């Protein structure tokens, strides 16, 4: 068992590595550039072409926002939420969702969770609930590495150091359930959700502590339950999630000499999937 049910396709990764090596060796034979092999690689043509293709294939924020908008619309049309809106560029967060009980859920959209952008978030004062949604559009990314890096290395440290409460995390995008990122939930194909052009497994949902961990007063805060976080409950209900697939993220914090240290544990259906040692929070 691991911190997330899905995994990267190792066969695909090896093919990518092999093809990349072939491309580096044989690229000078492609096209009608008029350069010999040495001039081709020294000219910058190859590197420039690679960067251009990379940029064209990278999912833009527009594409990611379009995906999230379709999912939120599906929830609204199905009666699982009352309404939602894009927060706009003036705000640090991305979406405000009005739940059926009129509570406000705020969603912060992130990428693969392994980069420094994951550290940049701010729970707004009017948020009744605040969740992170990871949309990782890179088919070659390792979801297990990214989820652990995001939760333990980045989010837990920010929560403690900056006194920021995160109620939960959603890991879900259009690569989920494809050959690039097989999902064991789809052993039963009837669980695949069709939303527009997408055919998806149910989302992976992580429940975080209900309060901010603090070494002195709150060293091991209780966890949120799914019914405590309405936006996550709505997602689970709308897209066919199950209670035994929910992840719980326990964060313990303490002082150890001059350091503030934390231990992160991820559980699913009562079983420990991954647990860190007591790890110092480092700030430059």
pLDDT for the residue numbered 81:
98
Distance CA(146)–CA(140), nearest Å, equals 12
- On the 0-12 / 13-18 / 19+ scale of CB atoms within 10 A, 66 is middle
Distance CA(220)–CA(218), nearest Å, equals 6
pLDDT for the residue numbered 205:
98
Work out the angle at residue 243's Cα, subtended by the Cα atoms of residues 127 and 9, and round it to the nearest 5 degrees.
Answer: 95
Mean pLDDT of 16-36: 83
pTM of the model: 0.86
Please, which pLDDT band fits residue 268 given cuts at 50, 70 and 90? very high
């Amino acid at each position: 068992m691991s911190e997330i049910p899905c995994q990267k396709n190792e066969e695909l990764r090896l093919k990518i590595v092999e093809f990349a090596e072939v491309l580096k060796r044989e690229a000078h034979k492609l096209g009608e550039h008029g350069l010999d092999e040495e001039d081709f690689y020294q000219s910058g043509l190859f590197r420039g072409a690679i960067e251009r293709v990379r940029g064209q294939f990278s999912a833009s924020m527009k594409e990611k926002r379009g995906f999230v908008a379709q999912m939120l619309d599906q929830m609204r049309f199905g009666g699982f939420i009352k309404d939602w809106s894009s927060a706009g560029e003036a705000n640090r967060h991305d979406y405000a969702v009005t739940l059926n009980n009129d509570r406000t859920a705020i969603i912060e959209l992130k990428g693969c969770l392994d980069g420094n952008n994951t550290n940049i978030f701010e729970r707004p004062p009017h948020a009744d609930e605040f969740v992170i949604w990871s949309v990782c559009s890179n088919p070659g990314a390792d979801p297990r590495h990214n989820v652990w890096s995001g939760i333990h290395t980045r989010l837990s440290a920010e929560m403690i150091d900056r006194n920021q409460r995160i109620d939960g995390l959603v890991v879900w995008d259009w690569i989920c359930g494809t050959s690039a990122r097989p999902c064991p939930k789809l052993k039963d194909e009837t669980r695949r959700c069709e939303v527009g052009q997408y055919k998806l497994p149910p989302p992976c949902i992580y429940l975080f502590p209900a309060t901010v961990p603090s070494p002195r007063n709150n060293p091991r805060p209780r966890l949120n339950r799914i019914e405590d976080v309405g936006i996550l409950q709505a997602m689970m209900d709308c897209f066919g999630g199950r209670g035994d697939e929910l992840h719980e993220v326990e964060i313990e914090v303490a002082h150890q000499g001059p350091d503030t240290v934390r231990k992160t544990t991820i559980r699913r259906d009562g079983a420990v999937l991954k647990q860190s040692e007591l790890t110092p929070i480092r700030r430059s």
